[in-house]
Structure 1
């Protein structure tokens, strides 16, 4: 933490309120609170995937949250009231912090509602629903998921774009990733630690200054490259940038609204560094489609069946389907966090495209100055000018020099005006 010296009275007030938010959210662990334990998985596999997992409201009640939810909601309410009292109704940094307090209260309400219908409804408020449109008349996330699946099927039908074999075990992947991240973040004070873990659902997960790799997962070179970009350059990089903020320390912590920005940035980075590939993209479209199925009334076995059709084995099928229903029940509404990837990618891409079109390039790197939320970007620009927020310390190469990125976005803007249907008809003789 930076020392408080050199801050004026106003900055000290902002910092004190910010620290209270950071402190208050510490025990809230969304993914820990919603995940299903090993016994549920074992029971499902024992029944050969024929019976619904044994999860109901009582299951969650037997796994308490680890904090007093009523007291925690009150704590956030008090912080929110003090922000208004000390900074006023319309203070820009106050508005960001108040929204965070409201969001964390909603998160607690969602966790209190585990195993009930309200859980899924609050999840949709926080992360969105697959049936949401981006703009009036535009396709929904579910439509885009299907569209992408069609493109991916056309590629898969070729049969010559096979993935490299996954020959790297977790230990090898850890060492490879560690040496790559040391080059980016430096080896001083062991900035980033990469280690194996057997307690995670995904192949990898990022914390404040570490990346965990699932100990029984296998990887290929391309996977490690994607992890370097996704977990390292984006998730860990923005956390470190948030932690180095001397005043707005809340930027080191991400409420759900920043999850959409985070995952969107991570997928965009995979695309512009050429680290993504069709199988990885299919994983994201499958998650979106599975959430949409559950929103439309499909139960766990039907969603599990969908993953089996997509070529996943019994264990992988369970693991994917349980991501959709964690926090909920096997016949309930889904946990919609996994929509953040595609939704965030589209929102971030559009934002950068517009920033280039309007000549506001200086706003683009600010996406990395911590766990930012897209709707705060204009305010953040002002806060940087005021000296309340520091520009990002760690910034991926692609965002340090905006020449190439803006050239690409200019072409992209221009090409958006052409009709693909018309082009397809015209090119039918040559393609």
Structure 2
């Protein structure tokens, strides 16, 4: 292909990318399914006193017909699912437009049982198989919950006080991020309306007001929110060809959240209680899909040791956008554990292939694991830039390689075949 032909093709994809971003401007998943803080506060107070009733949430259902039509047109113009020899850029745009179109269909069903099916298409089911394994996401969730419960008594002495007010943490995070990214690049704010404990965009991290945080929370926010979600968004903003690489499309959610939890693991910012919380949400999604209602799911979280407020917020995550009577769920929280396991496997695979470049390119924007491999010709040509920033743990390549090399080898040791007395001989 000649240089002029290549330039024309790149311009075509850049134009489709601009159309894509314009089309999805009104598709806002989490704001559409958010519950009013006043409702949460009232119901948490009632639930803590044993007064249970199913939440009544009124959602504003968006009209996204025009957006869906434009996204379908972009899919076709990018090459279509059946197109032969489609360029990786075209395939990226087609897949991304398709995921946004499914998200639009999902949001137009908000508050109804029809919301659940497209959310499962986007985020998967708890019983989906883990790549490279015969076990499912649900099996992994049960394993981590059981392990956490078994270790719980031994870990109590290691419990960390939750005594850092949101305003104090805000100032601390702001100073750390100014030193890493440059002064004012990322603002840290306290938001009393936020449902999650924290949320991150390219240039803003929000903390839930009225909440105290632990030192583990601080490490986790830096590793997960700042050095993955914000970092990949900032790197995506530097891309000259695909501006959409700065935006988290529905199809990249699993990789983004998996990479963020993997970052916690690599930087020592995750504890067994955090793995248990992630796993409990998957078990709760499975419960809801199998008929459990909001109150039953709340009681499940409460029985697992969560406070009234945390149990409510955990159940709320499962029932955002869907009727609270059971049989349906919002599947998004399925991706945290499945994404972690898939990303971990990808890192090990890339090391085995001696392709550390693939791991660095994963931070160049909001990409799936498939994208990182498929788009390598465009990284090589310079059409897609390598990342400007890498997380601190990715900057120490030898240390990362050491951890991964060990895990690649140790994975061949099957614990079911290990006898305890074998380990004690020769001591």
Q: Per-residue displacement from partner, 1:295-331 (whole Å, max 9, x unpaired)?
A: 2221111110011112222222111101100100112
Q: Secondary structure at the match of 2:224?
A: helix
Residue 83 of structure 1, CA deviation:
2.7
- The aligned counterpart of 1:52 is 53
The 1:118/1:9 distance shift into structure 2, 3 A limit, reads same
Q: Distance in 1 between matches of 2:205 and 2:152?
A: 31
Q: Distance in 1 between matches of 2:332 and 2:71?
A: 22
- The aligned counterpart of 1:3 is none
- The aligned counterpart of 1:150 is 146
**Counterpart contact for 2:164–2:213, Cα < 8 Å:** yes
Residue 254 of structure 1, CA deviation:
1.4
TM-score by length of 1: 0.91
Q: Per-residue displacement from partner, 1:342-389 (whole Å, max 9, x unpaired)?
A: 111100000010111122221111111111012222112121012221
The 1:140/1:52 distance shift into structure 2, 3 A limit, reads farther
| Residues 1:331 and 2:331 are matched in the alignment | no
- The aligned counterpart of 1:352 is 347
Q: Secondary structure at the match of 2:202?
A: coil
| Residues 1:236 and 2:235 are matched in the alignment | no
Give 1:196's match in structure 2, choosing from 190, 194, 198: 190
TM-score by length of 2: 0.92
* RMSD between aligned residues: 2.1
Q: Secondary structure at the match of 1:157?
A: helix
Q: Distance in 2 between matches of 1:83 and 1:133?
A: 30
- The aligned counterpart of 2:404 is 409
Q: Distance in 2 between matches of 1:186 and 1:426?
A: 55
The 1:46/1:225 distance shift into structure 2, 3 A limit, reads closer
The 1:313/1:400 distance shift into structure 2, 3 A limit, reads closer
Give 1:170's match in structure 2, choosing from 152, 166, 169: 166
- The aligned counterpart of 1:254 is 248
Residue 71 of structure 1, CA deviation:
1.1
| Residues 1:109 and 2:105 are matched in the alignment | yes
Unaligned ranges ≥5, structure 2: 1-5
Q: Which runs of 4+ in 1 moved over 6 A?
A: none
Residue 401 of structure 1, CA deviation:
3.9
Q: Per-residue displacement from partner, 1:246-291 (whole Å, max 9, x unpaired)?
A: 1111111111221111111111111111111122222111112211
Residue 38 of structure 1, CA deviation:
3.2
| Residues 1:311 and 2:305 are matched in the alignment | yes
Q: Distance in 2 between matches of 1:84 and 1:138?
A: 34
| Residues 1:22 and 2:21 are matched in the alignment | yes
Unaligned ranges ≥5, structure 1: 1-6
Larger CA deviation: 7-16 vs 400-409? 7-16
**Counterpart contact for 1:41–1:53, Cα < 8 Å:** no
| Residues 1:72 and 2:67 are matched in the alignment | yes
Residue 53 of structure 1, CA deviation:
2.6
**Counterpart contact for 1:52–1:330, Cα < 8 Å:** no
| Residues 1:99 and 2:128 are matched in the alignment | no
Q: Distance in 2 between matches of 1:204 and 1:356?
A: 32
The 1:412/1:137 distance shift into structure 2, 3 A limit, reads closer
